[in-house]
A and B are shown apart, each in its own frame.
Chain A
Amino acid sequence: MEIQLRNRIFFKISCGFLLLFYSLCTFALSPPGVSGNQATGDYTVSYNATVSYPTIFIWLQEKVGSGPWTTVSDPVPLGTVDFSNKANGVYQYRVAELADSYSYPYFPTFSWSTAVTVIVDGSSGGAGSSSSSMDYSTQSTYSYEVRKGDVNADGLQDLYVKRSSGGSSNNGVLYETLLQQQSDSTFTVMQPDAAQQMIGASWPMISVDVESADFNLDGFTDIIINGLENHIAGVAKQLIFSSGSGLLPQASVVSSLGPYMHKTMTNIAGSFSNPNYFDPYMAQVPLPVPVWVCGISYNYYFEGFSPGCWIQIQIVIVTVYDANFVTQEGISFAHGWGNLGEVTSDAEFRNNAEYVYDVVATILGINVGEDRPDFNNQGAVEEALAKIWVILSSLCGEAEVSECLSQGVQTVGEEMSRSMAGFQSCTDKLVLGQSPLPFTGSPFRTPKVTHSSSQNFAITSSQLGYSAGSSDVARRNFWLSRFNDSKDPLAPLGVNVVDNAYLLGCLANERVLFVALDYGKTISLTSIGVGIMAAHADAVQTDFEGIPGKLTATKIALYHFEVFALAGLPPHTFGGAPFSGTTTEAEKTKFIWCPSCE
């Protein structure tokens, strides 16, 4: 008995260790740096190997192509690893860390930095050439040709896509692929032999519009082919994903942006702008369900009561949706995302995030992001959610959902490409690092701002002085004071926007610039930021409801809309409501940008 009990306790502790081993990552790790001639495979990777408590151990990891992460042997002196004569391919490096935990039961935490990519393509390029050739803006200039023919003589037109200019063929970006049409007008990626590739290359070229953007945000641009319906009846635009591996020039996945995608994105955008969006498509339907019932029944054979179990049909009322207007992923996303704003613990947040992640992966037919995140790691989960947010708001426009289309001068593809480029540029900033700020937390999410029950959120005289200013210095002072002195929930994001720091601060600026360009407006980020600062100060002083001066996401969204309107920009310029530019969306996304808002 005692042994059994001990075993049980040991088992519980072991499970606890396994669960908590990969627990919350609270330390931002700097990624490694790369120097030398990356193109020829002769380079040095250096990283900060200094171990100081609570860090227990730091090491370098390498990933070749789409293979697993492996540990790199690092002889003394630690922190510098020389590589030479590396074979052609795509290599990634990141720093991993094992750190002690501050909280009971003190199991260590495992975390890692963002990865840096090295492309070895055998060119003479010189130091850093590979890195620049993999720059996102460079990848976006690659051009493609599209040909059509029937590779398997099934009567359905197939597609041959090849990069016609830009970059080396083995840099992980889509180079050459054959897409086989299915009976439902969708396509699958073929693994063609040399003969089939030659046949594809000989087909007649078709005139289509090819846009590039990094849809799964893995650092390798993907492409969208528009206008296929003019050449193949009933075929929608196709989203083709690069493999990210130098060893695989073909596409990894192809997704159709047809009726399913349009319907799903309409559902998602609708659910963001209207809390009752699904109601008109919903009905309660009685459903007969067989259930086992146990009890005492009268047995006519034996003429007496006896115990037993039997099947009984019970009517259960279930909620059903009209499949003409609602997709399973559309409604699943809406409910999953809605739950993210209602959770009460980080663990619950991560559980719901994993659910949302899987729904989005189903919508796109891929895994979003470079790797499937570790859903026990809060930082990784928040990064994945931020990516999902950007991807979907861009994809919504690409799927031509009316709510997500602006009335600007850019084409849908241009809008989406710029939006994605903005995200990529901002994630690059994370890698480069930034000056320390007075608040800690995930770089992908505004930190929660805690305060005492007696906290006064009112404007201070210093803040009034700052809010009368019109410079970035005034803006930064204002938001810093709002954080330090008033515990304003929006203050960390305010500072980050001024600093163009972290993901959300950078994205907010990118978004304003992107929409201003789209609407042909000449604006300055400082001017807009000053307007926002002043509007925030006014809103705090005119706030009557709830805790005076502690604003709701709705109120914050409202004054953003007003300031943007003053600059001739639409409501969806506000990064808290990129889908629909509504306060409802702002409330539904506040767990990312203002988790402590009222």
Chain B
Amino acid sequence: MVSKLRIIIFILSFSLSAGLIALDDEAGHLGSLGAEIAVGGKTFSVPIENLASLQPSSQASPFPPIGKSEFLAHFSAAWLSAHVDGYQPVLNHGFESHMASISVGEQVAKDHARLHPVSVDLWYKRGAYANRVVMDKKEPNTGFYIIQPIPYSSEPDHDREQWFLSETLPDESKSYPENPHWRPYICRRTNGIIIENAKVLTKCNINGKSADDIFFYTYLSSENLRVRETVLSTIAEEIRSWIIDEESNNDS
């Protein structure tokens, strides 16, 4: 009933409005330098080059995608190359850039403070990961232990397996490390079947934090895992620089 009333008021008010107001040409949230995004109680001034425009083929969206508590930002490979020593741009379809999903707010902070059920189950070798297999030698290129959530299958159809990477081995006989939480990276092979002749790539989900209530995740190819900490801190700092709310800036 309320919603109908609202509609009626809008229609009534609209009919009174013709020509009453003169405004500038474009919607004010998108300026020439970027967009202001209000999300999770904070306002971010996102530069135009970081507005989500999935490279290489998407159309540029005139407005950034906005969720209730999250938004999407784009970091080009060129930008990361300039800011992160050792970063290797992987020139393959869809991998020229990084999309970061950014979550903001008090509730988000509470949610992230909880134990991550997947990590806990993986540590204790239970649930979906009851048959996990741990490679007890570190992978030399990245310095990670590899944890297979399910035993490897030689079936021909079974070629897009997922695995976890961790700097420390899980041990179900010990308590789950909570300070900090033990959180392995989740990786999966993209074996080039989406695009013919595309390179076989590995992408890993990595998580970062810009402030107590600003979290983000993005994907890195396996080639760049060794510079992940610099990538995360660089992106975190960049996101922090977008906050235009004074109080929030002071807090952080």
Contact = CB atoms under 8 A, between A and B. Distances in A.
Interface stretch (B14-22, B78-86, B136-144): B14-22
B61 A285 contact: no
Contacts of A406: 59
Contacts of A581: 58-59, 61
Interface string B153-166: 10101111110000
Contact of B59 (A277, A568, A572): A572
A275 interface: yes
A371 B60 CA distance: 38
A580 B252 CA distance: 34
8 contacts: A270-B63, A279-B27, A281-B21, A320-B14, A332-B14, A355-B4, A470-B193, A545-B112
B57 A565 contact: yes
Given A458-B128, A583-B72, A584-B65, A568 B23 contact: no
Contacts, number: 263
B29 interface: yes
Given A283-B21, A558-B101, A567-B94, A351 B4 contact: yes
A328 B11 contact: yes
A175 B3 CA distance: 44
A555 interface: yes
B182 interface: no
A139 interface: no
Given A469-B158, A534-B188, A528 B194 contact: yes
Contacts of B188: 534, 538
Nearest to A547: B111
A341 to B, nearest CB: 11
Interface in A277-335: 277, 279-281, 283, 285, 287, 318-326, 328, 331-332, 335
Nearest to B121: A458
Interface in B21-47: 21-24, 26-29, 38
Contacts of A554: 65, 67-68, 70
A51 interface: no
A566 B161 contact: no
Interface stretch (A166-174, A212-220, A237-245, A460-468): A460-468
Contacts of B217: 542
Listed from nearest, the 9 A-B pairs whose CB atoms lie closest are A320-B17, A554-B67, A566-B94, A583-B65, A323-B18, A582-B65, A570-B58, A274-B63, A565-B54
B103 A545 contact: yes
Interface in B49-92: 52, 54-59, 61-72
Interface of B: 3-4, 6-7, 9-24, 26-29, 38, 52, 54-59, 61-72, 93-95, 99, 101, 103, 107-108, 111-112, 114, 116-118, 121, 127-131, 149-150, 153, 155, 157-162, 186, 188, 190-191, 193-196, 205, 207, 215, 217, 219
B7 to A, nearest CB: 5
Interface in A544-561: 544-546, 548-549, 552, 554-555, 557-558, 561
Given A458-B127, A531-B190, A562-B219, A571 B54 contact: yes
B99 A562 contact: yes
A453 interface: no
Contact of A461 (B23, B62, B130, B157): B130
A182 interface: no
Contacts of B190: 531, 566
Contacts of A568: 56-57, 93-94, 195
Contact of B61 (A277, A552, A580): A580
Given A331-B10, A405-B59, A570-B57, 15 more contacts: A274-B66, A279-B28, A281-B21, A320-B20, A332-B10, A335-B10, A352-B3, A465-B158, A528-B194, A531-B194, A558-B101, A561-B99, A562-B219, A582-B66, A584-B66
A323 B114 CA distance: 49
A519 B54 CA distance: 14
Given A280-B29, A541-B186, A570 B10 contact: no
A324 B99 contact: no
Contact of B28 (A280, A324, A332, A473): A280
Interface residues of A, number: 93
A524 to B, nearest CB: 8
Interface SS of chain B: helix, strand, loop or mixed? loop
Greatest chain A CB density within 10 A among B57, B111, B159 is at B57
B65 to A, nearest CB: 4
Given A558-B72, A570-B58, A280 B116 contact: no
B66 to A, nearest CB: 5
B105 to A, nearest CB: 9
A280 B24 CA distance: 9
A269 to B, nearest CB: 10
A245 B9 CA distance: 40
A384 to B, nearest CB: 18
A584 B159 contact: no
Given A342-B3, A528-B194, A568-B195, A562 B94 contact: yes
A575 interface: no
A426 to B, nearest CB: 24
A522 interface: yes
A278 to B, nearest CB: 9
A404 B224 CA distance: 36
Given A270-B27, A528-B194, A567-B195, A458 B118 contact: yes
Given A274-B27, A322-B17, A555-B101, A583 B158 contact: no
A318 B194 contact: no
A582 B11 CA distance: 27
A139 B13 CA distance: 44
Contacts of B29: 274, 276, 279-280
Given A468-B160, A554-B68, A565-B94, A403 B128 contact: no
B196 to A, nearest CB: 6
Contact of B157 (A339, A343, A352, A471): A471
Contacts of B55: 565
Contact of A522 (B38, B65, B196): B196
Contacts of B191: 470
Given A458-B121, A538-B186, A321 B59 contact: no
B107 to A, nearest CB: 8
A545 B18 contact: no
Nearest to B128: A461
A324 B3 contact: no
Contacts of A471: 157
